[in-house]
Amino acid sequence: MTSPEEFAGTASLELAMGVVRGSRSFKVDYMGRLTGVAYPGVWAPGENLAQCLKVDWVMTYAPPVDTRSWLEKLIGVPAPRRTDCTFSYGPPEPDPTHSMSDCRCGFYGYYEGSNDFYEPGMVSGVVEGYGETLIGTRGFRCSKARIVALHIPVQVPVPQADLIRRNYQNVPFFPTFESMISEFPPDGGTDRSVS
């Protein structure tokens, strides 16, 4: 299990150019989409944007609308009023003061020997992280990430493996974890804890 310090970085974030690479494991949903291990959010092909899950969703309320006509308003005759209310649900507007240094949100990538979420039969991959990024002793957390390489072990059923390949067709697939890491090495070394 990870601790906050291992992915915390420093309290102050500095601008850096480029990306950081790490390996990680994925679960697979029934549609052949890759999901996180600790949180079941779906990883899309291409760029993924992290959302803070610490923030509660909000409910907004719109008061009833006065639907009286101009004539009813002029002569003062009471008219039936519309009394229905409009509710909307959804995530709040992004907080401009939110910082990853105060939270555990983001996409995780692991360095050598640190991916303790791997279990035999799980899909492995290499991800590149960028945007707001915190570097820790075991890997990184970032606000933006993309999958750059995948390895599907033989334990994954063929129909499910075919769905994964279809869903991530622009990502290179490798027959072994070692061949994937050789082509796309994680920063900080090679994570040999998975195969």
Which domain covers residue 34, as residue numbers?
Answer: 4-55+96-183
Residues 165, 78 share a domain: no
Residues 160, 124 share a domain: yes
Give the end of a domain, one of 39, 73, 90. Answer: 90
pLDDT in tens, 79-116: 554 444 444 455 555 566 666 666 778 898 988 766 66
pLDDT in tens, 29-77: 999 999 998 888 899 999 999 887 665 544 444 555 555 555 555 665 5
> How far apart (Å, rounded) are the C-alpha atoms in residues 187 and 185?
6
Q: What is the DSSP string of 67-136?
A: ---HHHHHH----------EEEEEPPPPPTT--GGGS--SEEEE-TT--TT--TT-EEEEEEEEEEEEE-
Quote the pLDDT of residue 93: 59
Give the end of a domain, one of 90, 108, 136. Answer: 90
Residues 141, 67 share a domain: no
pLDDT in tens, 30-40: 999 999 988 88
Quote the pLDDT of residue 134: 87
Structure tokens at 38: 């600790």
Amino acid at 5: E
Residues 117, 174 share a domain: yes
Quote the pLDDT of residue 173: 98
Domain count, the chain: 2
